[in-house]
Amino acid sequence: MIFWGFEYGFHLIFESKKMRYFGGIIGLAIGYFIKYHLDKRFVFCKNSI
């Protein structure tokens, strides 16, 4: 959802195919950043069984 939101938002604001791709890159980077921190906290925790 983050990826598509940024991609579509950039497309609406700038009305350019290049900026739509740039928004997609930003959305993808933010999505992976959030996923990394969630995995680090809940999946790969030291106290897991």
Element (H, E) at 19: helix 17-42
**Is the pLDDT confidence value at 49 over 70?**
no
> pLDDT, tens digit, for every residue of 20-41?
999 999 999 999 999 999 999 9
Residue 47 lies in a domain: no
Residue 28 lies in a domain: yes
Residue 34 lies in a domain: yes
Structural domain including 31 reads 2-42
Share of the chain above pLDDT 70, in %: 96
Residue 16 lies in a domain: yes
Residue 49 lies in a domain: no
Residue 20 lies in a domain: yes
- Structural domains of the chain, count: 1
The pTM (predicted TM-score) of the whole model is 0.79
Residue 9 lies in a domain: yes
Show the tokens assigned to 42.
């809940």
In a 10 Å sphere around its CB, with 0-12 CB exposed, 13-18 middle and 19+ buried, how is residue 10 labelled?
Answer: buried
